[in-house]
Amino acid sequence: MKRWNFTPYHQQIDEGLAILGTPLPEHDTQWPEWEVFVQAKRGGPHVNVGAVHAPDPEMALLLAKENFIRREPCVNLWIVNTEDIHATASEDDALFQYTFDRTYRNTTGFKLDKPTAE
């Protein structure tokens, strides 16, 4: 069996190819992208904090943990394939703009008495 020496990774790729004697298929390291959602406390919302590249959900969770919550509080992690997220067009933000006074929809007009402490 061929013994490999301690050499940096990139120098061994040619060596590996030579050992196998057959050309390897093209490497595609551009893995799917997964959105990462962190729940800071139980019952709270899962908040999107960024994305990781990973070949599948198991690896995405594994890498998301160490990439996004090294210091931050977290009780639960979600990952979602970025392609599974459906969104409105970013340039179409006019969809959400208000052109009429909507204050009547707000509940600011209601006066709520604070409960008195016993």
Task: Answer whether 41's CB lies under 8 Å from 75's CB.
Answer: yes
Q: Does 81 bind other proteins (CB under 8 A)?
A: no
Task: Answer whether 51's CB lies under 8 Å from 34's CB.
Answer: yes
For other proteins, the closer CB: 40 or 59: 59
The residue from 16, 44, 45, 73 that contacts other proteins (CB under 8 A) is 16
Of 36, 39, 95, 30, whose CA–CA distance to 67 is shortest? 36
Q: What is the closest distance, in whole angstroms, from the C-beta atom of residue 9 to other proteins in the complex? A: 5
Q: What is the closest distance, in whole angstroms, from the C-beta atom of residue 58 to other proteins in the complex? A: 7
